[in-house]
Structures are given as structure tokens and as C-alpha cells.
Amino acid sequence: MKKIGLLGCGVMGTQIALAIDSGKIPGILTHVYDDSKEASSELVSKLNNKPEIVENSHLLSSHSVNIVVEAASQNAVRDDGLSILQNKRDFMIMSVGALLDESIYDILYDACDHFKKTIYLPSGAIAGLDGLKSIKGELESVSITTTKHPRSLKGAQFFETSEINLDSIDSSTVIFEGNARDAVSLFPANVNVAALVSLSGIGSDKTSVKIIADPDTDKNTHHIEAVGKSGKMIFTIENTPDPENPKTSRLAILSAIETLRQYCSDDIQIGT
């Protein structure tokens, strides 16, 4: 069985760990780490098969795990990605926005090649990346519009310099329009999906992103439009937010679990 190390013990990390513990993912969770000791202890208390809590993130990949699963933050990808690959572990990333920093992308890309390891990027909170990847070379335009309740956007770096006050928004309001590169750095915990769309399609400078705060929605909605020689693709995903962390959609958690299940299984793989 594959051995798994988990980096990040919040909402998503906990659900991934429970899926391993219940046997839904046929692997063994051997080590976990979170900057918050409380988060890692709370996660371990929920499991029958208790993993070891390591003292720092680098110790995760120095143990003999097959893969480290990141469900933490873009900073975790930046700080720990290279050492995970250097220790010859595969790496699954949920905070995909970190890869829109070209220097990080290039370092991790080269490390995969050099150490013969693979980075897995689950589809997260969206669908349609299979089609987008296939028409990559023929794309003319790609856009993604993300609509969330203002409470799901709280805490984003964007608001440190913007005059927009989320608490005073009383109808659907466009709060950001720009490219994916700027979007993921200003909303690092909200639009990792824009990074996935960029990396599958025409890149972060050419991928247009719109973010809407809508006090009347109870969904995290992502609407993607891609136009190319092969035709037009339109995807709208209306996600149920996680009750504990409304920034994160249930689909993103299920996508992480399914990707890890496939990684740990020898079976039929469906889709592009």
C-alpha cells in the first residue's frame, strides 16, 4: 500500500485523512504536519489509525512516504515543494495558485524531471480541464467568473489595499477583473481554480478572471468559457461550500480524495 504524508490539517486535510482512515482511499496515512499544532492534534484525534505528527514540514518528506499531499496554502507549496521532490516523493498540490509564480513553476517542473517524480494537480472545485487540455494548442480565449458570498471572500489580500467593504455589499457586485496571475495572488484561498484553468489552457496572463461577491448566493459558482478552433466550451459549476470553511467547495475536497484514490489504486483510469 502507498504511504501518504499530509501537509495541512484543516477542512480539506481532515476529509482526506478520514477518507484514508475509512478505506475509501487504499493507502496508509503515516505522517501529518500543520503549522497549527491544534489542527494536527484535532485531526489525529478523529482517526482510528493514528499517523505521527511531525515537528516541521520538511520532516514529512524525509520519512519514507510515497506522496506528500498539500492541503495548506500557497506558502506551503513555495516553502516545501522542492524538498519534497528532492526527497524523491510525489507531490499532490491543492494550493495550485503558487504555480503561477514562474520561478516556482520552473523549479518544481525541473525537479520532477530530475528526480523522476510527479506533481498531481486535482481538478479541484471545477470540471472541464480534460477538454481544455485537449484543445490547449488551439485556444483563442479563456475566461473564468467566480461568484461567492462575501463571507467566502473574507480575509483575501485584495482587501488590504481595496476600498471595497465586503460587509456593505448588498447586491451582486463585481469586485475584481483582471488576469489569473493577479487574481491568485490577491485571492490566494479563493481562485486556485483560475490557476488550474491557466495551466491547462493559455496561461495566466491571457486567462481573464472576474470575481463577484453576491450576498444572495449560497453557492461557490465557477463559470468557464473557452473558445478555440475546435469550437466553444462552457462550464458552470455551482458548488456547495464546506460548512466549516465556506471559501472551499465540497467538490474540491471530493476531487482531492478521488485523485489520491486513483494514485493509490491499480484500476481503470477514466477521462483525459
Ligand X SMILES: O=C([O-])CC(=O)C(=O)O
Ligand Y SMILES: NC(=O)C1=CN([C@@H]2O[C@H](COP(=O)(O)OP(=O)(O)OC[C@H]3O[C@@H](n4cnc5c(N)ncnc54)[C@H](O)[C@@H]3O)[C@@H](O)[C@H]2O)C=CC1
What is the Cα–Cα distance from 77 to 67, expressed in whole angstroms? Answer: 14
In 3D space, the residue among 112, 54, 56 whose CA is nearest the CA of residue 85 turns out to be 112
Q: For residue 241, what is its C-alpha cell?
A: 461550500
Site for ligand X in 107-136 (CB under 6 A): 124-125
Closer of 93 and 119 to ligand X (Cβ): 93
Residue 192 in marked binding region: yes
> Contact at 8 Å (CB) between 73 and 39?
no
Q: Which of 31, 63, 222, 223 is catalytic?
A: 222
Phi/psi at 159 (5° precision): -75, -10
Which residue in this structure is represented by grid cell 491571457?
A: 206
Binding mask 47-66 for ligand Y (x = CB under 6 A): ----------x---------
What is the Cα–Cα distance from 244 to 28, expressed in whole angstroms? Answer: 26
Does residue 222 carry a catalytic annotation? yes
Binding mask 165-204 for ligand X (x = CB under 6 A): ------------------------xxxxx-----------
259 lines the binding site for ligand Y (CB under 6 A): no
Site for ligand Y in 112-141 (CB under 6 A): 124-125
Closer of 65 and 96 to ligand X (Cβ): 96
10 lines the binding site for ligand Y (CB under 6 A): yes
C-alpha dihedral (191, 193, 195, 196), degrees to nearest 10: 170
End-to-end CA distance of the chain: 25
119: helix, strand or coil = strand
189 lines the binding site for ligand Y (CB under 6 A): yes
Residue 12 site contact among ligand Y, ligand X, none (CB < 5 to 8 Å, cut-off depends on kind): ligand Y
Stretch that binds ligand X, among 5-13, 24-32, 244-252, 260-268 (CB under 6 A): 244-252
Q: For residue 27, what is its C-alpha cell?
A: 493507502
Closer of 112 and 127 to ligand Y (Cβ): 127
Give the residue ranges of the annotated binding site for NAD(+). Answer: 125, 192
